[in-house]
Structure 1
Amino acid sequence: MKSKLSAKRLKNYASELLTNKAVYAAAIAMLATNVDAQKKPLDLTVFDEWQSIGMKELSNNGNWVAYQVNAQEGDNTLNFFGLKTDKNLNFHRGEQSVFTSDSKFAIFKIRPFYKDLKLVRIKKKKENEIAKDSIGILNLVTNKVEKLPNIKSFKTPQKGGSLLAYLLEKEEVKKDKSDSTKSKDKSAKPAKSSGKDKKDVPLELVLRNLTSGQKKSFKNVVNYDFSENGKQLIYSTKQEKKDSLDKNKYGVFLVNTATFAQKQLVDTIGDFKQFTFDELANKVAFVGTTDDEKKENKSYYLYYSSVPAQKEIQKSELVGLKKDWFVSENRQPKFSKDGKSLFIGIAPKLEEKDTTLIAEDHAKVDVWSYKDDFIQPQQLKNAEREKKRSYLAVINLDQPQQLVQLADENLNMVDVLNEGNSTYALGISDNLYRLSSSWDSTRRRDYYIINTKTGQKELLVKGLAGNVETSPNGKFVVYFNEETGIWSSYNIETKETKVLNKKLKVNFADEENDSPTLAGAYGIAYFTTNDETVLIRDRYDIWEFDLAGNRKPENVTDGFGRKNKISFDINKLNDDVKTINRETPIYLSAFNNGNKQSGVYQTIISKAKKPQEIVMSDTWGSQKMTKALNADEFIYTKESFQNSPDVYVSTNFKDEKKISAINPQQKDYSWGKGELVTWKTYSGKDATGVVYKPENFDPNKKYPVIVYFYEKLSDNLNRYQAPAPTPSRINHTYFVSNDYIVFTPDISYTIGHPGKSAEDYINSGVEALKKNNWINGSKIAIQGQSWGGYQVAHLITTTNMYAAAWTGAPVVNMTSAYGGIRWGTGMSRQFQYEQTQSRIGKTLWEAPELYIENSPLFNMPNVKTPVVIMHNDEDGAVPWYQGIEMFMALRRLGKPAWMLNYNGDDHNLVKRANKNDIQQRQQQFFDYYLKDKPAPKWLTEGVPAISKGIDWGFDLEETK
């Protein structure tokens, strides 16, 4: 019974009776009840205001933080926070922030209003009727910002101080009144793409030195880039029809960014792009063509020169290039780190289409052949990508005309070693295993060592299923064989192979693998300096292996991880750091598999001792932790189920500074809390799950329950789940706030019997949960999407213990689905049933009884549970005829069933309007069956086709 006393009166009452402990306790309890009663349950109108943290980064000097706050539906906000000054600056619609390398400026994009972009999408406005993107230039010393309108793109050099280049959009019409640099509309909400830019429209390029104020413009530019060190800017121009053919205006130009002096490199009209410099900006290369713009398959060539060029560059006539092969326009050339080699992409010339053919006079047909490497749907899905495929080749710059081809159609992937400085490369071929990939998910490859000087290749390992990595200095190849569980190192110079973990009893592959496929490795954590050792993970700990095999392995974390069920990994604090020092303290990410806490430990590789705990908590975030390049400042997020993710910065993880504070409105709403629970399954196995309870949980009350599952979800115990419309799952937070219990049981599987495994874990978990007095055992529903949807469909054919069920995109007939296509990728579905998620372990003709056992369709007469099926006609993962088969069976049998087909939407809903719709239908469905609330008309009467788009059936009946 809720108290009608005000909070103020309750406080006074309690203070007057402090001497009476019993009365005081009662008063405090009444106060808590009263405060809880003032909170509102989440409703369907709150979603748009909920925010999330997007990008976050530190300036190189560690003085500034940039982070983005994203709205679910509306405009984003970009924030800058000064760690030395506590200055907070925010920019509405700001995105894509970049700090200059000297930490003096921040450059960011300002998008048009979301509401305007939405009007473009629904064709109530034309693109030229709204403001274009703008950029902001924030001076981090003065905190002043300059805004520039109508910017197509901008670039800054990675290491080049305060330089900026940007392309100006052409102004087609008068600016809209809501100019994106001046509008102060606070109600607007995150921007999405306004569509593709017109291809290669020549525009004005502006180069600025933000420190000195020096500025220069260049006309008719289409492509541009900086050297990494910022010493050079290169750009290409394009002729406009109204312009004369002045050679001084067209081609490729190089600008010295110290003097702004300009030099013409190419004086020919053409298409020039994919610019690249060596590390010191002493050499430049790019690709280009002078073919007519309208030609479909143009011939591209390599252009290469030293900087500064003594004369204009001519295209390179490469010796060693096969007949009818050309330099690829789709791959950027890349210099080796030492600048002695240049790696380029080459490709065979594509067949020309006969443009004189009349389409109506010829068949449009796909010819499927049993000999095809990939089936036709997969080929068609990847056709554009294959047209752009290039093959790696290398030029030794001592002989700049001589090309050595490293990759071709038979050996289609090549990785260079030691950033191109090595004489060797790693070649990879999947050719022999493409056909079997339709049913075999094992990623087998043949691996070769290739001499980059001669192109000669030598087989390293054939048909390997497993991981392969090369050491940063290019001395070793380290690989894991999933069939044997062995890690090996191969010395490229001596050609010696050493087995690394043969004498260790620890398993370095997934210990929890419950699929009929090979278990994958936990992986390489890092290499140490000079390719001395490699650090490899088991389930919990990190091991150090001498790559030369001269000393025994060491458990770097001293077995502490396995002893305490804590999984360790090495935090990669900066992407530029390729190796770690064995003598320097390093930070380890840590996850406790028991209580689901996470955090950070510290250790020194060479010591191989118990790591030191720095922080371990329920609130440590799951996102990557990074460090400022030139300062000991760390940036990370913290969150829990109850606490929205926020950005923190610290030097030691104890004295931390909270930078963001999103979602303050959460305090007004009833929330919840997750608790780990354990039980024994029917078969006697240990099981784990999470029970989410309402914030004002009352153990004397009977709660309805929604059971949601997929495979294993308990690791998400401390993950925040923002209120949001669902893509067809359930939003735990939303339903818990509305006085439901949500239960998420983990499931482990027996090969060949996924359906029975679901029964064993889910039903036993629900039975264990029902033993609590606060559970209404007659008001329990189940919900699942995709694989979870399959399990829902299976469970309602085996038990009547559930009051309602909701299944999204379920497979119900494994016999028909087995031969289907995943239309999103064009792949065959056979591998999924034999080896991965469905876990049957055999082909349909080897074990038809298992496919029938695990196909709910054959047991639909047993169903008594009311069920909603969502399956959409553009589902790219599970063919939507599976949902149709289920619905048609239940309809024929007279069972209570409804099917939702969101026209044109995918496996998981993408369109927000559809998400909002299904969220409301889910709540109405569960409220009706679990809370005895009135039924919506879409349940009782349906929605006839003639009412589509007019009446959505949400109106509630007056009585149940």
Structure 2
Amino acid sequence: MRKLIPLVWLLCLTLGAAMAQDAKPMSWKDVATWKYMPGSAFKLSPDGQWIAYGIVGLEADGELILQKVSDPDSKKSFPIGNTNFPNFEFSQNSQWLAFKESPKFSEKQANEKSKGKPLKEKVHLIKLGTDEKKTFENAGGFSFNAEASTHLIINLPKEGNADIKGSDLLIHQLSSGKSQNLGNVREHSVNKAGTHLAYTVDAANSQGNGLYLLTLASNSTQVLDTDEAGYQSINWTEKGDAFAALKMKKDKKYKQDRGTVLGVKSLSSPQVTLYEAAKDSTGFDQKYTISPNRKPEWSEDLTRLFYGIHPLVLAEKETPKKELNKDSLAAADSEKLSKILADTTIKSISDLQKAIAKADTAKKADPKKNDAKKPEMTIWHWNDSRLQSRQQVLENMDKNYSFWAMYDLAVKKHIALQDSSMKDLSILPKQRYALGSDNQSYELQGNLDGQAYRDLYIVDLKTGAKTQLFENFYQPSFGSYPRPSTDGTKLLYGKDGHFYVYDIVAKTHTNLTEGLPVTFVDVEDDHNVTDPLVSPLGWSSDSKYVLLRDDWDIWQVPVGGKETALNLTQNGRAEKIRYQYRFILDREEKGIDLSKTNYIRIYGENTKKSGIATLSPAKKGGLTPGAKVLLWEDAMISGLGKAEKAEVFTYTKEKFNEPTQVYLTDASLANGKKVTENAPDAGKFAWSSGVQLVDYVTAKGDSLQAALFLPAGYVEGKKYPTVIYYYEKLSQTLHNWSNPGYSGTGWNPSLYTSNGYAVLIPDIVYKMDDPGMSAVWAVLPAVDAAIKTGVIDEANMGIHGHSWGGYQTSFLITQTDRFKAAAAGAPLTNMISMYDLIYWNSGGGNMSIFEASQGRFTGGPWENWEAYERNSPIYHVKNVKTPLLLLHNDKDGAVDFTQGVEYYNALRRLKKPVIMVQYLGENHGLGKTENRKDYAVRMMEFFDHHLKGQPAPDWMTKGVPRLQLGEHLEERAF
């Protein structure tokens, strides 16, 4: 019933024993100054000769490490202050590195206490291979001028007038070291070649506002357009040979500015096209204007401009002020005074004040105007396609929504490409056609039962003509949605469990998979949807093939001709190896280039090994069947990258007890050399001694696995207190490094194993109409199998989960008393009441989640009452014997706070041992660092007491009275 990873196992035992002597368990206080490399904080220079990566800490100052690959002694460290996201960039010619330095943690703390002005940042420029460094103070964003790499461009934030959108832009010439300052720059953007800088100016009183083009080599500026208007949304073509922008001008008649599209091409002698919609009274519906909420863009052939339009809204008319007639005012005041003097009911100063106020009110009343105070309210109607709460969440997006339109330069004609009858439009590659989509007819039903339908259209981008492709198209998963070929003339889509190709020109549909010996339906998807398809890898760059996944193997399927489909990977299904996804090594690729070697991420479903394999090109086109495995280890292998201009490759490797590191290699991925020192303080602390993979069979006959993480200093034959954690399927995390940190749920497996706990993470699969019982059927057999390893102390087991895992926890303790303690974060506890509540983060109703997503029920409670009741913790609350720590926050926008309150009150009424902690204003997970720290400590204290027998703190045994809470929290804060 268990599998050991032999070499890793022996090595980990040896390391574990050594670490137990020299290293200490990591405390939650240690986490604050723990330093690590964020996932995106590693870069390789374009020539592959330099690496740079950032090391940061939550309450510590970070550093940037720079090193020449061939010379380990060249390693240098530069301070970058306190930041979670190191910001650095190599120039495209690999001669320069620029990076930002944030304020230090101590400076941020002092500034926060004093409530001072925002602290300023710096940008540093380094010439690689030298000691040359230049610093730019008070700097914001920065970038090199793309391919040319002749200049560093830095935004200098400006304090003061918020009405002026522009700020200073510093253009630093790298060769001479000279800098030029452009004032009041609102936006700027460099073309791909790095030869031209387009920018807009937004100055005081709109003086000099305009669109400008700077030729960087000659330092010559051309004025393309100026006006008392706002210029924005610069958007270069991919080639960098042209760009488009918007000019927005105020019109007092309307709430919005009115827009003009500018198209600029022929950069050496710029040709500027202006399409002023307000002046096109015959071709442009004047109830609309060009929208600032969508960037304009050129067609690839530079014959058309695409942009957004939206309806105009009239401005509210100001009521003209009437001239005051002094004689009339005097007469009115005299009359008012006479009435007050004649009023015999006035007995005091208070009575007099009331009489004067009453007279003033009567004077101001206008019989022609309704001065009554309007109510603040919402009307919820049963025919609303979206709940009012959903409409509120989407209000700004709906207000800013724009429709695609096009201007044809040859015929000087505007063409609207969509309107309110077709809400979504995607322009396909090569801009010959567009795919339109609309779900308005199905939105109400979809929001009720979670089943997704929509109408699909083809739009001809030469004429704007719309043709319906599908009515009532069913989308059980993202894999079914149409994907365009790289030439923009075909669509790959899924229907009724098969993949089809639609030829837009020929108007033909072809079933690609009906004759193949496997299904491309995701048979492991246990949600209440019909025939969900596995998402395809995509189209080949020549549009002749599509690459499909059957959840194990990759298939090369021709879309025309007499070729047959090929199983490229061949052994996936037989050996339970998943060929998961393809690494994209060229960020500018258009489709999958089958003339090159393709790198594929592979994963062993039963072994949990991972690695990288390649598929090689065939002589006659396409790829050759048979994958070549380059890396295959008992580790988490991922993150393959490549230098932009050299055959230098990198990949990442980690294990549960070994931090993620980057390895440098060549195209063969052989003999990878570790080039990073992530988690430099890791040696100071004790980590898990290793991992085990536990096989088990659920009560319903499903074969599943669980990841068992050993405690630090593990001694074979000794049993350890254990926390069981779950969230659907997670055994694939067997080799994942969990970076120490304060999570939004209080959970971090590395901290628990460091402190002497074993951690078990079992898989759960679901049976329809039994989401709670499915956890019982899966988790208890997993625990039984894990106990047989001899690692787990069956008398000291705790369970924990958050959200859906919190639901499983709150349900499990109603079905078994095998666990000594349970911690449930933001749990669903009453499936019947929860069904009709709102997912406030999105504004949508829960019913669609219950019927077609995570809930896995067929129908609503009134159609399936017994199943809802059977799987609701609240209806079995009398069975609970396990002490429970319950986390639920009052602003939880996913699982309503009332779910936690219901469960807490029911347990309290029955005098069951329950503690609920609530962090004011927090959502579904904890956001504030101080709250994350506090809950992480409390949860471990809770398990330490129940599973390790440590003394319980007073907050657990006695609670904390409201009047003593402030002092209690102050004592614990760190």
Check the 8 A contact 2:407/2:414 in 1, yes or no. yes
Which one is further off, 306-315 or 655-664?
A: 306-315
Determine which of 254, 257, 275 is the counterpart of 2:234: 275
Question: Residue 456 of structure 1 corresponds to which residue in structure 2?
Answer: 465
1:251 lines up with 2:266 in the alignment: no
Quote how far apart the aligned CAs of 1:671 are.
Answer: 1.2
Quote how far apart the aligned CAs of 1:725 are.
Answer: 2.6
Decide whether aligned partners of structure 1 residues 894 and 549 sit closer, same or farther in structure 2, where only a CA change above 3 A counts.
farther
Check the 8 A contact 2:491/2:504 in 1, yes or no. yes
Check the 8 A contact 1:165/1:206 in 2, yes or no. yes
1:155-194 counterparts in 2 under 5 A? 155-170=143-158
User: Over residues 649-694 of structure 1, what are the superposed CA-to-partner deviations in whole Å (9 max), with x where a residue is unaligned?
Assistant: 2113113232211223222322112210012333343231011112
User: Over residues 617-636 of structure 1, what are the superposed CA-to-partner deviations in whole Å (9 max), with x where a residue is unaligned?
Assistant: 123434x3221222111122
1:60-459 counterparts in 2 under 5 A? 60-86=46-72, 87-93=74-80, 95-120=86-111, 122=112, 124-128=114-118, 130=119, 132-142=120-130, 144-170=132-158, 198=162, 200-213=164-177, 215-240=179-204, 249-279=208-238, 281-291=240-250, 296-306=255-265, 307=267, 316-317=276-277, 318=280, 320-350=283-313, 352=315, 361-399=373-411, 401-418=412-429, 421-459=430-468
CA distance in 2, matches of 1:355, 1:135: 49
Question: Which stretches in structure 2 are left out of the alignment for 5+ residues?
Answer: 1-12, 320-368
Determine which of 828, 833, 845 is the counterpart of 1:816: 833
Which one is further off, 277-286 or 689-698?
A: 277-286
CA distance in 2, matches of 1:355, 1:743: 68
1:11-50 counterparts in 2 under 5 A? 36-48=20-32, 49-50=34-35
CA distance in 2, matches of 1:510, 1:328: 41
User: Over residues 498-544 of structure 1, what are the superposed CA-to-partner deviations in whole Å (9 max), with x where a residue is unaligned?
Assistant: 10000123121222111212353222213223211111111111111
Question: Residue 490 of structure 2 corresponds to which residue in structure 1?
Answer: 476
> SS of the residue aligned with 2:59?
coil
Question: Residue 920 of structure 1 corresponds to which residue in structure 2?
Answer: 937
CA distance in 2, matches of 1:676, 1:617: 15
Decide whether aligned partners of structure 1 residues 664 and 226 sit closer, same or farther in structure 2, where only a CA change above 3 A counts.
closer
CA distance in 1, matches of 2:314, 2:833: 38
Quote how far apart the aligned CAs of 1:108 are.
Answer: 2.5
Determine which of 843, 854, 873 is the counterpart of 1:826: 843
User: Over residues 96-121 of structure 1, what are the superposed CA-to-partner deviations in whole Å (9 max), with x where a residue is unaligned?
Assistant: 2222222222233222234434555x
1:792 lines up with 2:809 in the alignment: yes
Question: Residue 958 of structure 1 corresponds to which residue in structure 2?
Answer: none
Determine which of 455, 477, 481 is the counterpart of 1:467: 481
Decide whether aligned partners of structure 1 residues 76 and 678 sit closer, same or farther in structure 2, where only a CA change above 3 A counts.
same
1:506-655 counterparts in 2 under 5 A? 506-548=518-560, 550-560=562-572, 562-606=574-618, 608-622=624-638, 624-651=639-666, 652-655=668-671
Decide whether aligned partners of structure 1 residues 746 and 200 sit closer, same or farther in structure 2, where only a CA change above 3 A counts.
farther
Check the 8 A contact 1:708/1:730 in 2, yes or no. no
User: Over residues 818-847 of structure 1, what are the superposed CA-to-partner deviations in whole Å (9 max), with x where a residue is unaligned?
Assistant: 111111111111111112112112212111
Check the 8 A contact 2:187/2:199 in 1, yes or no. yes
Specify the code of the residue in structure 2 equivalent to 1:636.
Y
Decide whether aligned partners of structure 1 residues 114 and 405 sit closer, same or farther in structure 2, where only a CA change above 3 A counts.
farther
Scaled by the length of structure 2, the TM-score of the pair is 0.87
CA distance in 1, matches of 2:865, 2:418: 43
Question: Residue 362 of structure 2 corresponds to which residue in structure 1?
Answer: none
Specify the code of the residue in structure 2 equivalent to 1:349.
L
> SS of the residue aligned with 1:950?
helix
Which one is further off, 454-463 or 282-291?
A: 282-291
Question: Residue 344 of structure 2 corresponds to which residue in structure 1?
Answer: none
User: Over residues 326-357 of structure 1, what are the superposed CA-to-partner deviations in whole Å (9 max), with x where a residue is unaligned?
Assistant: 11111111112222222111111245467889
1:897-936 counterparts in 2 under 5 A? 897-936=914-953
Decide whether aligned partners of structure 1 residues 928 and 294 sit closer, same or farther in structure 2, where only a CA change above 3 A counts.
farther
Quote how far apart the aligned CAs of 1:198 are.
Answer: 4.8
1:740 lines up with 2:751 in the alignment: no
Decide whether aligned partners of structure 1 residues 778 and 355 sit closer, same or farther in structure 2, where only a CA change above 3 A counts.
farther
Question: Residue 25 of structure 1 corresponds to which residue in structure 2?
Answer: none
CA distance in 1, matches of 2:815, 2:926: 29
Question: Residue 18 of structure 1 corresponds to which residue in structure 2?
Answer: none
> SS of the residue aligned with 1:552?
coil
Which one is further off, 695-704 or 279-288?
A: 279-288
Percent same amino acid at aligned positions? 28
Check the 8 A contact 1:60/1:628 in 2, yes or no. yes
Specify the code of the residue in structure 1 equivalent to 2:301.
D
Determine which of 853, 874, 884 is the counterpart of 1:867: 884
Check the 8 A contact 1:366/1:376 in 2, yes or no. yes
Question: Residue 347 of structure 2 corresponds to which residue in structure 1?
Answer: none
Check the 8 A contact 2:252/2:315 in 1, yes or no. no
Which one is further off, 669-678 or 651-660?
A: 651-660
Question: Residue 501 of structure 2 corresponds to which residue in structure 1?
Answer: 489
> SS of the residue aligned with 1:796?
helix
Specify the code of the residue in structure 2 equivalent to 1:456.
A
Matched length: 890
Quote how far apart the aligned CAs of 1:933 are.
Answer: 1.1
Quote how far apart the aligned CAs of 1:30 are.
Answer: 12
Specify the code of the residue in structure 2 equivalent to 1:328.
S
Specify the code of the residue in structure 1 equivalent to 2:404.
L
CA distance in 1, matches of 2:681, 2:87: 27
CA distance in 2, matches of 1:741, 1:53: 26
Specify the code of the residue in structure 2 equivalent to 1:207.
I
Decide whether aligned partners of structure 1 residues 324 and 73 sit closer, same or farther in structure 2, where only a CA change above 3 A counts.
farther
Decide whether aligned partners of structure 1 residues 551 and 310 sit closer, same or farther in structure 2, where only a CA change above 3 A counts.
closer
CA distance in 2, matches of 1:702, 1:235: 67
> SS of the residue aligned with 1:599?
strand
Higher relative contact order (CA 8 A, sep 6+): 2
Quote how far apart the aligned CAs of 1:451 are.
Answer: 0.5
1:894 lines up with 2:911 in the alignment: yes
> SS of the residue aligned with 1:408?
coil
> SS of the residue aligned with 1:767?
helix
CA distance in 1, matches of 2:610, 2:791: 31
CA RMSD of aligned residues (A): 2.7
Decide whether aligned partners of structure 1 residues 860 and 953 sit closer, same or farther in structure 2, where only a CA change above 3 A counts.
farther
CA distance in 1, matches of 2:375, 2:772: 45
Check the 8 A contact 2:255/2:312 in 1, yes or no. no
CA distance in 2, matches of 1:432, 1:105: 55
CA distance in 2, matches of 1:145, 1:934: 56
Check the 8 A contact 1:710/1:787 in 2, yes or no. yes
